[in-house]
Chain A
Amino acid sequence: MNELSQNDLSKSEQPVAALGEIPAFGPGDQVRILTRSPIGHYRVPSYLRGQRATVLSVVRPRAIDNEEEGYGKNAGWKGYYYRIAVPMASIWSSYNGSSSDRLQIDIFETWLAGE
C-alpha cells in the first residue's frame, strides 16, 4: 500500500463535518461585532455595534437566525450564537464602576468577525 492510499484510508475513518457545523469561534477568541445599520427587526443592540469582545462560549444547539425568522425566512438554516463579553468601560467612556464590570450577550454568527 503506498503512502497516498494510506492517507486516504485514515481520512475516510474520520467523519467529515458539514459546512457550518463546526463553530467558527471558541472560548477566548477575540471578535468584533460588525457595524451595520439595517432597517427592520434586528437583534443586535446598536450600543454594541462595532465593539470588540471576547467569546465566552458557543451557544448550543445551533439555532435559526431570529432576524430572518422575524420575516418568516430561512427557517431551515441554522447557525451558532456566541455568548460574548464586552468590558463596560469600552462601551461607555464615562462608565462609573469597576474596570472588570462587563456586558454579556448572545450574538448570531452573521454579526461577528474574527480579530
Chain B
Amino acid sequence: MAHSEHHHHSHSEISNTSAPSYFDVMEAAVQELLIEKGLIKPGEIRRQIEVLDSRTPALGAKVVARAWIDPEFRQRLLENGRAACEELDISFYDDTQLVVLENTPRVHNLVVCTLCSCYPRPVLGLPPDWYKLKPYRARAVYEPRAVLAEFGTHVPDDVEVRVSDSTAMVRYLVLPMRPESTEHLNEEQLAALVTRDSMIGVVPALNSDGGV
C-alpha cells in the first residue's frame, strides 16, 4: 500500500477531551501523595505496568503445552502450579499461589471470582471484561452449565462440573484436555491450540486444525 493512501481516510484525532472522572482524579491524587511521602517512586508504577503488559495468555499456553507432552512436568504442575511455572521462567511478582485444575473426561473445571476479579495474572495477563462483570460472576456459581452452554460448551450430565471461586491468596488455571489427533504436533503447535478462555474453563482447547 502506498504511503499516501493512509491519508485518504479521515479520522478524528486520538485525544481525550472529556474532563477526568472522579476515579481518574483520585488515582492521580493518591499516586502523587504516595510519591510525595516517599513510599513509592514514579518509576515503580511504570515498571509494574510493564510487568503486567508482559503477561499474556501465551505464557499459560506454553505451560499447558508442556504439561501435555511431559508427564513429569504435568505432575509437578498439578502438585505446585507456581513452582512449575517458575521452571519455565514465568515469575510470580506477588504472593499468590497457583493451583492448576485438570480437566478430564469425568471432570470439567471453571474459574470465577464472585467477589472481585481474582485471576492468574502472572500466567494469563489481564482478564477479559466479561470475567469482571457481574453476570458472569453471579451466574458461574449459580448456573455454570447454562453459562458454559452460552460459550458453546455442552458438558454431559455424567461429567462433574467443578466451579472454583477464587477469593483468597490462591489463583486457578484450568489445564484443558489435550485435543484428539494431536500426536503429530510439536510443543509450539500444541500451544497454539490453547486459548485464554480454555484456561478459564469456559471452552475446551482448539482442535488440531485450529477449530473449535
- Per-position 1/0 for A30-53, Cβ under 8 A of B: 000000000000011101000000
> Are B164 and A104 neighbours in the complex by a CB distance under 8 Å?
yes
Which segment of A2-10, A17-25, A93-101 sits at the interface? A93-101
> Are A98 and B168 neighbours in the complex by a CB distance under 8 Å?
no
> Are B114 and A97 neighbours in the complex by a CB distance under 8 Å?
no
Known contacts: A104-B163, A105-B164. The answer to whether A97 contacts B170 by CB under 8 A is no
> Are B157 and A59 neighbours in the complex by a CB distance under 8 Å?
no
Q: How large is the interface on B (under 10, 10 to 19, 20 to 34, 35 or more residues)?
A: 20 to 34
Residue contacts A-B, CB under 8 angstroms, 9 given: A43-B115, A59-B168, A88-B144, A98-B157, A101-B160, A103-B165, A104-B162, A106-B167, A106-B170
How many A residues face the partner with a CB closer than 8 A? 26
Q: Is A63 an interface residue (CB 8 A)?
A: yes
> Are A59 and B97 neighbours in the complex by a CB distance under 8 Å?
yes
Q: Is B142 an interface residue (CB 8 A)?
A: yes
Interface residues of B in 81-108 (CB under 8 A from A): 95, 97, 99
B-to-A contact residues, CB < 8 Å: 95, 97, 99, 114-115, 141-146, 157-170
Q: How far is the CA of A103 from the CA of B161 in the complex (A)?
A: 8
User: What does DSSP make chain B's interface, helix, strand, loop or mixed?
Assistant: mixed
Q: How far is the CA of A97 from the CA of B159 in the complex (A)?
A: 10
Q: How far is the CA of A98 from the CA of B143 in the complex (A)?
A: 11
Q: How far is the CA of A98 from the CA of B164 in the complex (A)?
A: 16
> Are A102 and B168 neighbours in the complex by a CB distance under 8 Å?
no
Q: How far is the CA of A106 from the CA of B115 in the complex (A)?
A: 13
Q: Which residue of chain A has its CB nearest to the CB of B156?
A: A98
Q: Which residues of A contact B162 (CB under 8 A)?
A: 85, 101-104
> Are A96 and B145 neighbours in the complex by a CB distance under 8 Å?
yes
Q: Is A92 an interface residue (CB 8 A)?
A: yes
Q: Which residues of A contact B157 (CB under 8 A)?
A: 97-98
B82 to chain A minimum Cβ distance, whole angstroms, is 11
> Are A96 and B141 neighbours in the complex by a CB distance under 8 Å?
no
B151 to chain A minimum Cβ distance, whole angstroms, is 15
Q: Which residue of chain A has its CB nearest to the CB of B96?
A: A63
Q: How far is the CA of A108 from the CA of B168 in the complex (A)?
A: 8
5 extra interface residue pairs, beta carbon distance < 8 Å, beyond A45-B114, A96-B143, A101-B145: A97-B143, A101-B144, A105-B165, A107-B168, A108-B168
Q: Which residue of chain A has its CB nearest to the CB of B115?
A: A45
Q: How far is the CA of A91 from the CA of B115 in the complex (A)?
A: 17
Q: How far is the CA of A15 from the CA of B144 in the complex (A)?
A: 47
Q: Which residues of B contact A66 (CB under 8 A)?
A: 168-169
Q: How far is the CA of A1 from the CA of B169 in the complex (A)?
A: 51
Q: Which of A59, A96, A98 contacts B170 (CB 8 A)?
A: A59
> Are A63 and B168 neighbours in the complex by a CB distance under 8 Å?
yes
> Are A98 and B161 neighbours in the complex by a CB distance under 8 Å?
yes
Q: Which of B115, B143, B160, B169 contacts A102 (CB 8 A)?
A: B160
